[in-house]
Amino acid sequence: MSAPVPVDGRSDRAPRVAARPDIALMAGYHSPQLDVAVRLNTNESPYPPPPAFARALAAAVGEVAWNRYPDRRALALRAAIGALHGLDAEQVFVANGSNEVLQALLLAYGGPGRRAALFEPTYALHGHLARVTGTEVVVGDRRDDFTVAPDELERVVEGASPTVTFLCSPNNPTGTAEDPGLVATAVDLAARTGGLVCVDEAYAQFAEHRADGLVDDDVPLVVSRTYSKTWALAAARIGYLLAPRWVVVELEKVALPYHLDAVTQLAGRLALDHLDAMEERVGLIVAERRRIEAALDALPVRVWPSSANFVLFRPTTRSGDDVWHALVERSVLVRNCSSWPRLEGCLRVTVGTPDENTRFLDALAEVLAAGTDTDPSPEVAS
């Protein structure tokens, strides 16, 4: 084995070892946080889980045998999640957030010589995790309304035979829910080409269509879910995959032993006792999303219909970047997507509490009333 090469050529320091070249070239994933009054940039729940959940968790934590490893198979949690979806514990894989679930999926089913397909614009982590795991990324395009056209799906899947085809419904950052017919087509194509379809349903409870009911041992479909949004538990880091048993068996091989700590397992299980409170939060957020969409319609912005807890919009009289900065000056933080591929000039706002939403809408109206950029970006006019 050759000795590591000093990066700066100096011999009096320990040499810096070069990372894998493809990793070294990556920019990494960033979601900047700023100290503002109204934080609407990461699609979290604006409401906490109910106090009864916090009390039950505190009591259960008092009983944890801290000197012992947790249940390695997380069986109680997997059984509870399975029951929620009409599946068995063996058809559920749980990890520390759905990003880790997707990483496990790509560790097991991606890798060198294999491909993952996705349709841009979509959730950046699908491509990022594929690349980190050495999986080649094959990119298809979404239509102007951000849905995936069946013929584009067919072109990509038949052309590349990906082992994982990602759909995201509702799609982040566009809010678009996929048509159930498209998911069915994707599954048929995957069955023919020897791949899996992964529907990322991080925001499923906000939408009308869900694919969890299609999961079956004889269907090459997996569905990922998270506790970070509708369950209001972003801090706990819990996500899961609903999948055929034979997929879960493989994912368990790539997960680290005891990767789910005892408190995470308890939090995930106890949260499910508060299904009504979750559905109530979802109702409030959907009502507020509709209010935001209606208010945006009256402003000089293009708005895409959303089935999630966020709304994508593009100012038509000022550049997205300029509007983003002007909102930050007014202590309102939204996600700046304006430099993302295929989303030129776009911003994404997470639905907050009614008061936060009103502050956002007032600030935006004020910013847009302030006039046109002296140097609007060319895409703003389109």
Ligand X SMILES: Cc1ncc(COP(=O)(O)O)c(C=O)c1O
Using the rule CB under 6 A, give the single segment among 22-30, 75-83, 93-101, 259-267 that binds ligand X. Answer: 93-101
Considering only 90, 178, 200, 356, the residue that binds ligand X (CB under 6 A) is 200
Local structure of residue 162 (DSSP, 8 states): -
In the sheet with 38-40, reading across from the earlier edge strand, the strands are 38-40, 332-336, 347-350, 310-315, 301-303
Query: Which of 224/338 has CB closer to ligand X?
Result: 224
Using CB under 6 A as the binding rule, the residues of this chain from 288 to 327 that contact ligand X are: none
Give the integer Cα–Cα distance in Å for 78 and 26: 35
Please provide the size of the chain in residues. 382
Considering only 168, 270, 326, 351, the residue that binds ligand X (CB under 6 A) is 168
Using the rule CB under 6 A, give the single segment among 56-64, 97-105, 139-147, 211-219 that binds ligand X. Answer: 97-105
Using the rule CB under 6 A, give the single segment among 91-99, 186-194, 265-273, 352-360 that binds ligand X. Answer: 91-99
Asked whether position 97 contacts ligand X by CB under 6 A, the answer is yes
- On the CB side of 309, CA atoms within 13 Å amount to 29
Query: Which of 98/176 has CB closer to ligand X?
Result: 98
Q: For residue 56, which of 231, 236, 234, 263 has the smallest C-alpha distance? A: 263
Beta strand 239-242 pairing with 136-141: unpaired
Considering only 133, 174, 226, 307, the residue that binds ligand X (CB under 6 A) is 226
Query: Which of 153/198 has CB closer to ligand X?
Result: 198
Vertex 20: Cα angle to 16 and 23 (nearest 5): 105
Longest dimension (CA), the chain: 65
The phi and psi torsions of 314 (rounded to 5 degrees) equal: -130, 115
Asked whether position 169 contacts ligand X by CB under 6 A, the answer is no
Burial class (CB in 10 A: 0-12, 13-18, 19+), 139: middle
Q: How far is the CB of 268 from ligand X (least distance, A)?
A: 11
Site mask, ligand X, residues 234-273, x = CB under 6 A? Answer: x----x----------------------------------
Q: How far is the CB of 335 from ligand X (least distance, A)?
A: 10
If DSSP codes are grouped into helix, strand and coil, which group holds residue 339? coil
Give the integer Cα–Cα distance in Å for 297 and 92: 41
Query: Which of 90/200 has CB closer to ligand X?
Result: 200
Using the rule CB under 6 A, give the single segment among 92-100, 179-187, 215-223, 294-302 that binds ligand X. Answer: 92-100
Asked whether position 202 contacts ligand X by CB under 6 A, the answer is yes
Handedness of CA 267, 354, 205, 43 (dihedral sign): negative
Q: How far is the CB of 241 from ligand X (least distance, A)?
A: 11
**Sites of contact with ligand X (CB under 6 A):** 43, 97-99, 123, 168, 172, 200, 202, 226, 228, 234, 239
